[in-house]
Amino acid sequence: MPNAGGLCHVTRMDRTTEIGDRDATGQAEAVRRREVSPRELVDEAIRRIERLNPRLNAVIHEHFERARREADGPLPDGPFRGVPFLLKDLASGTRAGDPIHWGTRFLKDAGYRAPVTSYLVDKFLRAGLVIVGRTNVPELGAWTTTEPEAYGPTRNPWHLEHSSGGSSGGAAAAVAARMVAAAHASDGGGSIRIPASECGLVGLKPSRGRVSMGPTIGEMWAGLAFELAVTRSIRDTAGLLDAVAGPMPGDPYVAERPLRPYVEEVGAPTGVLRIGLMATSATAPVHADCTAAVERTGRLLADLGHHVEIAHPQALEDPTVSDAAIRVIATSQAQEIDHFESVLGRSLGPEDMDCDNWAITQMGRQVTGSQYLAAVAALHEWNRRMAAFWADGFDLLVTPTIPTPPPLLGEQTPDPAAPLSAWAKAGAMVAFTVPFNVTGQPAMSLPMHWNAAGLPIGVQLVAAFGREDVLIRVGAQLESEARWTERRPPL
């Protein structure tokens, strides 16, 4: 009989491991069918983090014991009841009393903890998700690689010497390595889509006003920042968007409510769409692997019956918009540092942050109120020129997510010997993503290609404002053809 009991235990463990490999929707279904308990799922996620995180450095704060207690207790009966989840160490990922350090040494050294739970995190919890930890980010979320001095670099599960992207690099590495099925991510210039591209994931930046950043944040970076998650499947992205979308009292922006839940768009007919294809750029060199990924996606969309043509908004060729965006971002960062100085009760200087973040902060402090408002007005004017492309009859634009494959670690970090070199490199990386932070349109990176080195190459799909439904329908079409959910990193 002892042997029989042992066999039963092993079988149960094997079953839990198999369920832990499913996407978040599949894990939640297994909990509802009582194939696995929330506690078993949480324990499985913890085992995976403990085994893999020493090599990846994706999770920087562990909330394991609390997660176990919550999994044993009466969880909300939401769509993701019992599914383990990770929060990003930035912006609206706040849970009252938890550490949140924005990738900085000064908040880490001060032992700073969040004073409130954000509306976003409250909605994640109401959906039944169990928070098992918090993920690594670059300092102040400023860079397109996750290599902060405070916590060290996060490594890409597909190749440990490469970057996992930024600023949601810790979240993307954890999901790609299957520590958890999905994780919170945010996007101020591409920070959901860039890590999704570099780690082979689905990364949707929603429309402006779709997901609240309250109660302590109305808007970040004059409306250039957004919140959601990185996932491995379209249905998880749709389900998480359903769980957290919707305005909260006092939000400065509100996106029009969808006609039906986003999960109902998964597998729904798309009709024949008019799609513009942009495989290269006049403002940024594009690597052949990234061009090939876009061209391959265009052929696949044509095979699916869509009308695909080489076309893009002419406003994308106007380099002057970057000056206005830089002014807004630098001024916003200066205000963030002023806020942290107030919280800490001391001044912050060049010894507290990397050289480029200090330079950007000083740049922002030189901007006058009139100059800031002029920059915002310039972004609004450019936004109207961009919107004309969709108003003229296009349903989607397809571009590279980023212009290169995942770079090596160390290639994009600030260098005191070359001030603002990291800032310039980040600017090149966001050539295709930041325009849609400016316009507020929904944009999604899909893992459509792997290069000869085995590194993921994402492709970005952009829809008209408020049309996440179109992205989810087309994304589901492409997922069934490209079958990226079957891939897993060699780690």
Q: How many residues are given for the chain?
A: 491
Asked if residue 296 belongs to a domain, the reply is no
The pLDDT score that the predictor gives to residue 14 is: 85
Asked if pLDDT for residue 6 goes beyond 70, the answer is no
- Least confident span in 272-281, 317-326, 395-404, 410-419: 317-326
pTM above 0.85, yes or no: yes
- Least confident span in 9-23, 124-138, 139-153, 197-211: 9-23
Q: Is 322 a catalytic residue?
A: no
Residue 187 dihedral angles phi and psi, to the nearest 5°: -145, 110
Percent of the chain surpassing pLDDT 70: 98
Q: Is 108 a catalytic residue?
A: no
Task: Measure the CA–CA gap between 93 and 86, rounded to whole angstroms.
Answer: 9
Asked if residue 255 lies in contact with residue 209, where contact means CB atoms within 8 angstroms, the answer is: yes
Asked if residue 129 belongs to a domain, the reply is yes
Asked if residue 349 belongs to a domain, the reply is no
Catalytic residue among 164, 191, 197, 233: 191
Asked if residue 180 belongs to a domain, the reply is yes
Asked if residue 368 belongs to a domain, the reply is no
Please report which confidence band the pLDDT of residue 4 belongs to, taking 50, 70 and 90 as the band edges: very low
Domain of 61: which CATH number? 3.90.1300.10
Q: Is 425 a catalytic residue?
A: no
Residue 456 C-alpha from the chain's centroid = 16
Asked if residue 417 belongs to a domain, the reply is yes
Task: State which amino acid sits at residue 428.
Answer: A
Structure tokens at 64: 């394991």
224-235 pLDDT, tens digit each: 999 999 999 999
Asked if residue 333 lies in contact with residue 364, where contact means CB atoms within 8 angstroms, the answer is: yes
Residue 226 dihedral angles phi and psi, to the nearest 5°: -140, 160
Asked if residue 386 belongs to a domain, the reply is no
Residue 436 C-alpha from the chain's centroid = 14
Residue 145 dihedral angles phi and psi, to the nearest 5°: -140, 150
Pairing type for strands 226-231 and 202-205 reads antiparallel
Element spanning 203, H or E: strand 202-205
The pLDDT score that the predictor gives to residue 2 is: 43
Q: What is the mean pLDDT of residues 311-318?
A: 94
14 SS3 class: helix
The strand ranges marked E within 58-100 are 59-62, 84-88
Structure tokens at 284: 């940024």
Q: Which domain range does residue 214 map to?
A: 2-274+407-486
Asked if residue 454 lies in contact with residue 162, where contact means CB atoms within 8 angstroms, the answer is: no
Asked if pLDDT for residue 12 goes beyond 50, the answer is yes
Task: Measure the CA–CA gap between 384 and 386, rounded to whole angstroms.
Answer: 5
Q: How many domains does the chain have?
A: 1
Catalytic residue among 118, 164, 167, 168: 167
Asked if residue 211 belongs to a domain, the reply is yes
